[in-house]
Structure 1
């Protein structure tokens, strides 16, 4: 008996002492042509390997934990991927892109994909999204850790970038423009109406995400129709060798993901994810949050099929529905504000379908095409519980917004020799939108955006990229108005030493007006529309300095100037508006392209990647955002907060051979945005908010918020799991969102942003 017990104890000790392993594999390709690089040297920590004829590499029996991957090839820059986390039950698959070598820069790299050569580009990896505090698994919220980026409101992921309105940002998926890909696009807004670029939760699940790029300008030639920023999201391929599954439960929702090979004969793969909100489950049981029943669900997928000649075809899609139902309390004695007197129903539906094709041509060229159809439909209906209670015009009423986009991108990249590469292509966009007004008018806009980009390595230390982007647009087919712009792009990089880089970028950028602005009416006739508006434009300059250090860290400083012109501004003699201040509220007046805006500032970033179980990202900016009306009067914009400061960091502690404890923190200190003063006496007479001036002269208090994320990872023989606790606004700071007149309280009140929110989640991968 004693011998049996000893044998059992010995077996248990052997099991727990065993170090579990998994696989690290991937492919290495030319960054410009996408052609595979055979015999490239690949090193994982101290293990060496080379790629095969198809550019593939593989490491078997790798211990779970953190690793460093180094890839080199003759004539190309060596790439070091610092932040690789290998967990049991999950293979780590890397798609590496190497660019032609100039003078070698010892660069701290977080991604295997080559970013555009222009300034102001940040990679967002899935690993960062899962590790950073208070991201809600949303790449847009990761971007709030970057210099010069701030969330417009805690409840949503709409971003204010370098003092620009969130409306100036563009969402892309697989290289093509799509509609707002977020649930609850009204989240955090003053009027409870939908926005064009933000929402409460991203519809695309992190389970499908590859490396995304966040750009704040100037943009490379292949990017257009954006004035502030572009979030270019990419989808990863599913595992084409074995089936893998992920299940996650938390306050955000219940996620179930599956991936694997399509068949045993080909190298195709599938990846699919379904998510249902946890708040929706609680709502079904009669539990709500502040009287609101919030629900959402979404489905997303990506199917990858290899083609002949190392090409690849993908079919992807996503769709989501969300709702916010607020029911008035029948007992008016329980009312605290004017909203309590209304039943409000908000519904949001979004979907997208797309295909891509990448096909090498010869030994130096690659053809790429992408096509997507996306649509967004929102409805809002607010009715008073009792007909005699109709105090607040901004609450009551109905609204509906429909926005559809058909977009495509076709391009050809050719590497003429190691020193020259050429890319040319065309981007097509057709947009159809409807915002019911007195005349029930629809909007139809199409654009053609040809572009060309030439990269030239002048010497071992100096390189240049010269591009030309053009946008030809037309609003409504029955009008003769057609607008065209020629937009040069330029990027210079000088590596003064192995660890120091200087850079300069310039570009002219333009962007169509928002659909709401085009359909804003100033009369009852169908002719009284703003279809005559041309796109807004701007000159963008950025000067950068980067110093890399030996401990996988770097310091980056960027100074920028944005001179914007042809801004849509109101010409009403009593009240003047500028589109640079608008988010979801669109004044129904006549607009002309007579406005200007000027944003300038300096940004500092210090980043240490996760090495020796510690990482740090410290960013700060000082900036000024101003605009001019049609009369030429200059003043600060609504988003002129003057400064941003973000501190994101974390420490991992090993727990045995297979466990990791992670402690992550994030601190935000942002200058308060501005708003127009409220005429309280006049508002009391009319029973809704009346502003006394168009000038944004009232500054909100500075925004301060600390976040905390603690996780415990553990690898088992055939699976791994992660238990995490996120504490958003752990200090419970009462940050100001905006002021408004409350008709129930008969006074001006301040609307607060979110307080302490704990989010507990459990993730299981096998």
Structure 2
């Protein structure tokens, strides 16, 4: 087998020549999104390869040499731009959309601007705390598992919960403060094995191979984003190839087996894109549990091209997953991340988003974008508990039953008009109609009122209801001078459950000190409802159930951000940001305790005993972040992000405590190098590495004696989040090969990713083990290989 694999690689490496590639795309005005005719696109470093955009802004560069290429874009009346780092392969055309900024005035001298890079947001109204990312980054970086959420953990101020989940913790905020958006609309958590109101899980349902370049925002969001406190992941789906059919098949440890097809649709420049994946990680024994996880997802984007009523598209993602965690499959003192010796758990989850989008031009400078979507997410969780384990008296009973389905219909309308080359106005409204069917019955922490020597099976949540979230907004961008850019807006939010209406001002300003550096400041007032599992908890008074948390206020957070950006070289960038977030209206208990709703999240469930809460909790997050980035050029790239921060909160006892998300510091160092190989030097061997370290999470210790007496885990509530796990440390190393066919339009890609190569023992949790009656430490996944192969043709 080793000789066969070696011979296969050598055959590909020794190809004498390979096909050239194609770069195609559309040139648009950044403010109006109107296509630009007559733009000149030039392949840098290759004289004679140019193209001119047509009346629809389309261009096509042919006979492009394989490998990393850069293109320059020039158009009369617009700032010139350079788009670097385009990876040209023989198996797939490069499709890109390029937005140009109009010069400040008609007499401005057009000069070559800084390269279009990931420092610039796709959303033109975002000026602070925003990072553009590309699908190429998801697949390139070591340790990423083809997961866009794990990619975000490389950015300053961001940490994932642990190796077993992809929850995103931003600047000390709970992961529940994250807003997922797709094609301009909010969506449920796009993950397999997700549960109600959470935003992460062990496995992502997002396929990076169908995503377009997208924005990740971490503070002081523009006015069009709402009902989020921590961050916004604003995702877009790319369009398929509108001129030729292309296919991709592959297999990888974590995303699984995949197939993708794309090509032209209709006669008006339309296209289709369909991708499906099926998980195989359980079969490889890399899931972190003895059980077999099953998951699959399907993503599509149909663009129907130009018409008299505008451009229509239909898009969607569907995902399903299930796993049976059987206690018999694990050891007595198990290091299984999810299974327990005396329990059988049966988990199912589903996720779906379906939408139709219309964009129609209204005159030369305006457009209207409408989106209608339906989405649903749900999970089933049944758990049986064994008693008198492995004795003749052994028996089991149903311990927990949960059945949650959250469905929503979303309507979004956005109007954009470019008043002049110095002013753009955007206004719109978003309305979400939610329907929640949720049931939770549990014996955990319940009394034995029927004297059967077992905790009662109590209904904790029973809801079949509707509520509405309505969010209108207006915002504008104004180029006050050639150096000063100002964004301002107002976002409104109405939450029907408590009938609360809020108005949120947002603004940001960016000033260019010189051609290489600028400073920025942003402010935003943001609100978000308390998580649904807390809002709908039942409280029993004289045997009658009341949902005493329904009227909790929206949690409020004020964001302040000050930034400095310095481009000290052609491909180098240094960015520093300091921030402060002031939080109030968090849910806390009426009696003095250290509980706060700000501590919920980054787990599969929420507290089940926090009823009759009030909106009197406070907190704050503050810190400083540094990003040093070398964009890909001359065969290598590098990224260093460092964050130091503090996250504190107060419960109803008014004691200031560390938040569970207060890691204190995060350091990421990433680097990659590509080597051209083969006689024709058209193939690529790449090495990428990532080093990560951060402070440990704060946690509440277990009260061992009380846990033994009660028979379930009891935390020491006199010491809320008083202890901290050891620092997290991990080193990943990834090797990849890309081979371009000499005779056919096809390419092969292969990688192997060695994750946690030092086998560092990072703490996962310290929990009470009912079987051993001890507090056991379970470590996260140690050394683990990941691999993948992809064939494009």
* TM-score, reference length from structure 1: 0.92
Q: 1 CA distance for matches of 2:360 and 2:12?
A: 52
Cα shift at 1:159:
0.8
- Does the residue aligned with 1:436 lie in a helix, a strand or coil? strand
| Preserved CA contact (<8 Å) 1:563 1:599 | yes
Q: Does 1:652 align with 2:652?
A: no
| Preserved CA contact (<8 Å) 1:297 1:320 | yes
- Does the residue aligned with 1:128 lie in a helix, a strand or coil? helix
Q: Does 1:725 align with 2:752?
A: yes
The equivalent position to 2:430 in structure 1, one of 427, 436, 453, is: 427
| Equivalent residue number for residue 671 of structure 1 | 695
Q: 1 CA distance for matches of 2:398 and 2:229?
A: 31
Q: 1 CA distance for matches of 2:228 and 2:13?
A: 58
| Equivalent residue number for residue 636 of structure 1 | 658
Cα shift at 1:628:
1.5
- Does the residue aligned with 2:360 lie in a helix, a strand or coil? strand
Cα shift at 1:384:
3.2
For each residue in 1:225-257, what CA deviation from the matched residue of structure 2 results, as whole angstroms up to 9, or x when unmatched?
100001111100000100000011121210000
| Equivalent residue number for residue 319 of structure 2 | 320
| Equivalent residue number for residue 450 of structure 2 | none
Q: Does 1:239 align with 2:266?
A: no
| Equivalent residue number for residue 517 of structure 2 | 500
The equivalent position to 2:786 in structure 1, one of 735, 738, 759, is: 759
1:637 and 1:113, CA in 2 relative to 1: closer, same or farther beyond 3 A?
A: closer
| Preserved CA contact (<8 Å) 2:164 2:288 | no
The equivalent position to 2:133 in structure 1, one of 106, 124, 133, is: 124
- Does the residue aligned with 2:209 lie in a helix, a strand or coil? helix
Q: Does 1:738 align with 2:765?
A: yes
| Equivalent residue number for residue 585 of structure 1 | 606
| Preserved CA contact (<8 Å) 1:392 1:743 | no
| Equivalent residue number for residue 339 of structure 1 | 340
Q: Which shows bigger deviation, 68-77 or 332-341?
A: 332-341
| Equivalent residue number for residue 687 of structure 1 | 711
Q: 1 CA distance for matches of 2:395 and 2:511?
A: 59
1:330 and 1:445, CA in 2 relative to 1: closer, same or farther beyond 3 A?
A: closer
Q: Does 1:597 align with 2:619?
A: yes
Q: Does 1:518 align with 2:535?
A: yes
For each residue in 1:560-612, what CA deviation from the matched residue of structure 2 results, as whole angstroms up to 9, or x when unmatched?
01011111222234x44211100122243221111111100000000111101
1:446 and 1:65, CA in 2 relative to 1: closer, same or farther beyond 3 A?
A: same
- Does the residue aligned with 2:136 lie in a helix, a strand or coil? helix
| Equivalent residue number for residue 3 of structure 2 | none
Q: How does 1:462-481 map to 2 (within 5 A)?
A: 462-475=484-497, 481=498
Q: 2 CA distance for matches of 1:241 and 1:57?
A: 12
| Equivalent residue number for residue 397 of structure 1 | 400
| Equivalent residue number for residue 43 of structure 1 | 42
Q: 1 CA distance for matches of 2:732 and 2:395?
A: 35
Superposition misfits of 4+ residues, deviation over 6 angstroms? 12-15, 330-338, 389-395
The equivalent position to 1:412 in structure 2, one of 411, 415, 418, is: 415
Q: 1 CA distance for matches of 2:217 and 2:556?
A: 17
* TM-score, reference length from structure 2: 0.89
Cα shift at 1:324:
1.5
1:13 and 1:363, CA in 2 relative to 1: closer, same or farther beyond 3 A?
A: closer
| Equivalent residue number for residue 226 of structure 1 | 228
Q: 1 CA distance for matches of 2:309 and 2:418?
A: 17
| Preserved CA contact (<8 Å) 2:385 2:396 | no
| Equivalent residue number for residue 271 of structure 2 | 269
- Does the residue aligned with 2:176 lie in a helix, a strand or coil? helix
For each residue in 1:77-121, what CA deviation from the matched residue of structure 2 results, as whole angstroms up to 9, or x when unmatched?
333222200100211011111233459762561499733432111
Q: 2 CA distance for matches of 1:154 and 1:394?
A: 32
Cα shift at 1:535:
1.1
| Preserved CA contact (<8 Å) 2:83 2:115 | no
Q: 1 CA distance for matches of 2:480 and 2:18?
A: 50
Q: 2 CA distance for matches of 1:392 and 1:80?
A: 69
Q: 2 CA distance for matches of 1:332 and 1:734?
A: 19
| Equivalent residue number for residue 20 of structure 1 | 19
Q: 2 CA distance for matches of 1:331 and 1:155?
A: 18
Q: 2 CA distance for matches of 1:331 and 1:361?
A: 63
1:335 and 1:121, CA in 2 relative to 1: closer, same or farther beyond 3 A?
A: closer
Q: 1 CA distance for matches of 2:120 and 2:406?
A: 35
| Equivalent residue number for residue 456 of structure 2 | none
Q: Does 1:562 align with 2:586?
A: no
Q: 1 CA distance for matches of 2:193 and 2:505?
A: 37
1:15 and 1:560, CA in 2 relative to 1: closer, same or farther beyond 3 A?
A: closer
1:425 and 1:651, CA in 2 relative to 1: closer, same or farther beyond 3 A?
A: same
| Preserved CA contact (<8 Å) 1:161 1:229 | yes
| Preserved CA contact (<8 Å) 1:81 1:111 | no
For each residue in 1:275-321, what CA deviation from the matched residue of structure 2 results, as whole angstroms up to 9, or x when unmatched?
111136669xxx98642111111111110012236942110111111
Q: 2 CA distance for matches of 1:393 and 1:650?
A: 53
For each residue in 1:113-172, what CA deviation from the matched residue of structure 2 results, as whole angstroms up to 9, or x when unmatched?
733432111112011111011211111111010011001121111011000111111111
Q: 2 CA distance for matches of 1:576 and 1:353?
A: 41
Q: 1 CA distance for matches of 2:168 and 2:414?
A: 29
Q: How does 1:78-97 map to 2 (within 5 A)?
A: 78-97=80-99
| Preserved CA contact (<8 Å) 1:339 1:395 | no
1:154 and 1:333, CA in 2 relative to 1: closer, same or farther beyond 3 A?
A: closer
Q: 1 CA distance for matches of 2:333 and 2:145?
A: 33
Q: Which shows bigger deviation, 301-310 or 453-462?
A: 301-310
Q: Does 1:147 align with 2:156?
A: yes
The equivalent position to 2:69 in structure 1, one of 57, 67, 70, is: 67
| Preserved CA contact (<8 Å) 1:312 1:359 | yes
Q: Which shows bigger deviation, 523-532 or 316-325?
A: 523-532
1:549 and 1:260, CA in 2 relative to 1: closer, same or farther beyond 3 A?
A: same
1:538 and 1:23, CA in 2 relative to 1: closer, same or farther beyond 3 A?
A: same
1:310 and 1:669, CA in 2 relative to 1: closer, same or farther beyond 3 A?
A: farther
For each residue in 1:443-471, what CA deviation from the matched residue of structure 2 results, as whole angstroms up to 9, or x when unmatched?
43211111111111111111101111110
| Preserved CA contact (<8 Å) 2:165 2:202 | yes
| Equivalent residue number for residue 60 of structure 2 | 58
Q: 2 CA distance for matches of 1:357 and 1:210?
A: 18
Q: 1 CA distance for matches of 2:660 and 2:588?
A: 14
Q: 2 CA distance for matches of 1:14 and 1:384?
A: 57
1:391 and 1:560, CA in 2 relative to 1: closer, same or farther beyond 3 A?
A: farther
Q: Which shows bigger deviation, 352-361 or 630-639?
A: 630-639
Q: 2 CA distance for matches of 1:111 and 1:548?
A: 10
| Equivalent residue number for residue 168 of structure 1 | 177
Q: 2 CA distance for matches of 1:111 and 1:270?
A: 30
| Equivalent residue number for residue 620 of structure 1 | 642
Q: 1 CA distance for matches of 2:396 and 2:283?
A: 33
| Preserved CA contact (<8 Å) 2:436 2:463 | no
| Preserved CA contact (<8 Å) 2:29 2:99 | yes
Cα shift at 1:202:
1.7
Q: 1 CA distance for matches of 2:659 and 2:158?
A: 16
| Preserved CA contact (<8 Å) 1:108 1:552 | no
Cα shift at 1:41:
2.4
The equivalent position to 1:527 in structure 2, one of 546, 562, 573, is: 546
- Does the residue aligned with 2:364 lie in a helix, a strand or coil? coil
Q: 1 CA distance for matches of 2:13 and 2:506?
A: 61
Unaligned runs of 5+ in 2: 1-10, 441-458
Q: 1 CA distance for matches of 2:330 and 2:220?
A: 56
Q: 1 CA distance for matches of 2:168 and 2:242?
A: 36
Cα shift at 1:529:
2.8
Cα shift at 1:754:
1.3
1:663 and 1:713, CA in 2 relative to 1: closer, same or farther beyond 3 A?
A: same
- Does the residue aligned with 1:180 lie in a helix, a strand or coil? coil
| Equivalent residue number for residue 5 of structure 1 | none
Q: 2 CA distance for matches of 1:412 and 1:623?
A: 38
Q: 1 CA distance for matches of 2:766 and 2:537?
A: 25
